[in-house]
Amino acid sequence: MEILQVILQVLLGITSLLLTLLILLHRGRGGGLSDMFGGGVTSNLGASGVAERNLNRITVFLGLLWITCIIVLGLITKFSGS
């Protein structure tokens, strides 16, 4: 069970970093953190509808994987007895 817990913790760390990166890559929709990093540049890069949809899909998938890791780690911790 400890090996599974370590694997899930590593997976949680990796998905956390990737989620942070992917969220920052999203196109800004109205003045916020994305404008601080050059809103004009990001809006030109995110002009493709297909690229934005794929970025959304990957972000949602990683978010679900992140939540699943948290839930499974919580269940392991609760029922491990240590």
CB 22 within 8 A of CB 46: no
More confident residue, 28 or 24: 24
User: Residue 26 in contact with residue 59, Cβ under 8 Å?
Assistant: yes
Q: How far is CA 19 from the centre of its chain?
A: 2
Using alpha carbons, list the distances in angstroms from residue 19 to 16, 60, 72, 75, 79. Answer: 5, 9, 19, 23, 28
pTM above the 0.85 mark? no
Q: Residue 48, Cα to own-chain centre: how many angstroms?
A: 21
The predicted-structure confidence for 62-79, as pLDDT tens digits, reads as follows 999 999 999 999 999 999
pLDDT at 71: 97
